[in-house]
A and B are shown apart, each in its own frame.
Chain A
Amino acid sequence: MTAPDGTPDTAPDTAPDTAVPDASWDRLDRRAAVLAAALYTAAPVVGGALLTAYWVAVGTSLGTALAWTVPPSVLAVAVGAGCGEWMWRVTRYHVDDERLHVHTGVVFRKRLALRRERIRSVDLSADPVLRVLGVATVRVGTGEHAGTEGTVTLWPVRRAAADALRATLLAHAARTGTDGTRTDGSLARFDPRWIRYAPLSFVPPVLGAAAAGGAIQVAEWFGLQEDLFAAVGSWFGLAPAVLVALALLGALLVVGGVAALALWVETWWNHTLDREADGTLRVRRGLLTTRSISLEESRLRGVELVEPLGVRLAGAARVDAVATGLTTGEKDKTESRTLLPAAPKDLADQVAAAVLREAAAPPTSAPLAGHPVAARGRRLRWALTSVLAPEAVLVVLGLLLTPVLLHVAWVSALVLVPVAVVLALDAYRALGHALTPTALVARAGTVRRATVALQRRGIVGWTVRQSVFQRRAGLLTVLATTAAGTGAYAVRDVGQAEGLALADDAVPGLLRPFLVGDDAPTGVPGAEATDLRGTDH
């Protein structure tokens, strides 16, 4: 492999550290480390102990049960506290002019030196335990690659020290105030009314199903599973089976809906989106577990306005960042790049514009050019095929086996065909693209409609795709490749000449030498570009 990197880049971003800690190095919070580790261990241990005690007490006596469970629990919690203490003993960190040095590791000793100018993210989080203790977890990432290689976690750090560390490490991102357009301050403030969008997703059914599964599981622990099934089964005697089933389903949806509301409150309460003086966008949110997620503006390549079907019907959208090297090692990746939860569409457009510093003309609400009618035909064909193929299987089986399947087939076709057609027409209406002075805007999707505004400077290449069917219909798909987000954003099923002209306009000069046709733009820079390898084959 050759690395054609012109800049002198001899030192790796993360390297084994040779610096020797001394008294000036910072340490974690000892009291919090011990207490938090003890509490974390205590929660599952006490739960397990209670369950075990229940079973032992059923068989013997309460005394035996306590004798069996209390000493191991105390021992386990003590070991947990010991781990916390050990964590405190082995961890030291220090920020010097060039690097963040971290020595840590309970089992594997880890010595890291992260170059400060390569540090891309400093995220703080604090669950209720840590908040009570006045500390936070600090996760520092270089954002170079996905995975945990470039990240280091400091746990727990005193709240004030954590904030100071964040400010220090991200200070290099501060823009020199030459562009004058800098507006520090609030871009979005949480509005409790947004909670009405929380249940409008796939979350309630999923959580409802999870609640049912959880109830069955807990019943099994206590040996009551059969009683539970018997109880539910007995309800079917009270009313027609269909009604009972619908009622059960409704109850699960209600439970799931309540859970979705609770989840939303926990995740998004007190959400704020600010532009900090150090050139970062900072999202702060959370009711019990508070999080602070920082995104350097220099890593931002665009925004994506996402409208899942339910949320869209309610006139809302959420805003995701399209940025390079987003938080690694973070489990909830979607949420960590969400700048604004589902909020009224106008507001989402404004926030997206403010994030991109284009408040005058929000790119995501720019008027879009629609795509050729041929694209509608393709969507209708896909939709009908995806409905009629399974129906055909049903019909064949029905003819071979039982006429019941034939009835299932025509009834389901009666419902599904209109749904498929509506979705296909909606998907066609969603298609669109535009070019603003700074961004390429593309919209697509029906179940998850997404409008991406990708900064034109962030486009690092083009991929143009055309299947045989698209060739016949005069369509093609243009993908702008970028270092950010998913790596490429598509303008789907755009007219051939239109799509190529769009790509040519978006990044002047890149595609032009390769375009031909009577409409090909003239004044081609490098049309006769010299071939690096002149040998013709």
Chain B
Amino acid sequence: MAGVTAPTSDDSARTALTLRPPRHAVDRRAVGWWTWQVVLWFAAGVVPLAVLGLLVPPARTWLLLPAAALAVVGAVAAVALPRLWFRHHRWEVTDEAVYTRTGWFFQEWRVAPLSRIQTVDTVRGPLEQRFGLATLTVTTASARGAVKATGLDAATAAALAADLTLATQATPEDAT
């Protein structure tokens, strides 16, 4: 059909086309932050089980056993996952776009052009505050297009938010 271009795949043996990792790793302190997050998540399961196990003698085995198993899984996760995430969470802001990569099992790259940005937020949860970190969220008009950079140094995030706000003001366009 006229004017239709169906892209063709290139089957040469050269390196396949791929997305390069964004330039910046997240802040080193994010490892500590994520570790605490994982620990707290598992603690929410382990602590009630353990307490009940100690208080209810007849069911002790059946409560302490899962608690111990969960604690072991939690400990492994708390050591392994934050380091894995640290390697795979990356971000970059150019004068054209915001670009992030997250996840390992489900890897996800997100790109939002500055001209389409609607809001720039930085959020600092209680744990993030303790570690001096912040999450930068950039939203576009799409309900599913928000780009989040987690584990940034709080000062970097604040400066980025300010820069992005300026940069997006420079491109007045209907962002939808």
Contacts and interface: CB of A to CB of B under 8 A. Distances in A.
A463 B92 contact: no
Interface stretch (B16-24, B40-48, B60-68, B69-77): B16-24
B38 interface: no
Q: Give the interface size bracket for B toward A.
A: 35 or more
A367 B6 contact: yes
B116 to A, nearest CB: 4
A515 B159 CA distance: 27
Interface in A375-401: none
Contacts of B110: 461-464
A168 interface: no
Given A361-B3, A505-B7, A516 B19 contact: yes
B112 A460 contact: yes
Given A434-B4, A518-B14, A463 B109 contact: yes
Interface stretch (B49-57, B94-102, B124-132): B94-102
Contacts of A497: 9-10, 16-18
Contacts of B144: 463, 479, 481, 486-488
B165 interface: yes
A487 B144 CA distance: 5
A530 interface: yes
A4 B94 contact: no
A487 B106 contact: no
Interface stretch (A49-57, A274-282, A466-474): A466-474
A132 interface: no
B104 to A, nearest CB: 8
A533 B163 contact: yes
Given A514-B19, A532-B94, A461 B145 contact: yes
Contacts of A511: 19, 111
Nearest to A530: B95
Nearest to A1: B121
Nearest to A510: B113
A310 interface: no
B14 A513 contact: no
A5 B95 contact: no
A493 B7 CA distance: 15
B118 to A, nearest CB: 7
Interface string A525-537: 0100111110111
B145 A471 contact: no
Given A7-B172, A461-B147, A361 B95 contact: no
A467 B103 CA distance: 9
B80 interface: no
B164 to A, nearest CB: 7
Nearest to B113: A510
Contacts of A451: none
B140 A461 contact: yes
Contacts of B163: 532-533
B19 A529 contact: no
Contact of A532 (B25, B95, B170): B95
A2 B165 contact: yes
Given A4-B117, A517-B17, A530 B6 contact: no
A471 B104 CA distance: 11
A366 B164 CA distance: 39
Contact of A513 (B97, B108, B156, B164): B97
A519 B11 CA distance: 10
B16 A519 contact: yes
Given A462-B110, A463-B110, A468-B105, A532 B160 contact: yes
Nearest to B10: A519
B156 A533 contact: yes
Interface string A2-24: 11111100000000000000000
Contacts of B1: 361, 366-367
A431 interface: no
Nearest to A512: B96
B135 interface: no
Contacts of A535: 156
A516 B99 CA distance: 14
A516 B92 contact: no
A458 B176 CA distance: 7
Interface string A410-451: 000000000000000000000001111100000000000000
B161 interface: yes
Contacts of B99: 514
A496 B26 CA distance: 26
Contacts of B35: none
Contacts of A531: 23, 92-94
A261 interface: no
Given A465-B106, A501-B7, 19 more contacts: A3-B119, A6-B172, A361-B2, A369-B7, A434-B4, A460-B116, A462-B111, A467-B107, A495-B9, A498-B7, A505-B7, A510-B111, A510-B113, A518-B14, A519-B10, A530-B95, A531-B92, A531-B93, A533-B24
Interface of B: 1-10, 12, 14-20, 22-28, 92-97, 99, 104-113, 116-121, 140-145, 147, 156, 159-172, 175-176
Q: Which 8 A-B pairs have CB atoms at the shortest separation, nearest pair first? A: A481-B145, A483-B141, A487-B143, A6-B172, A518-B14, A487-B144, A4-B168, A529-B94
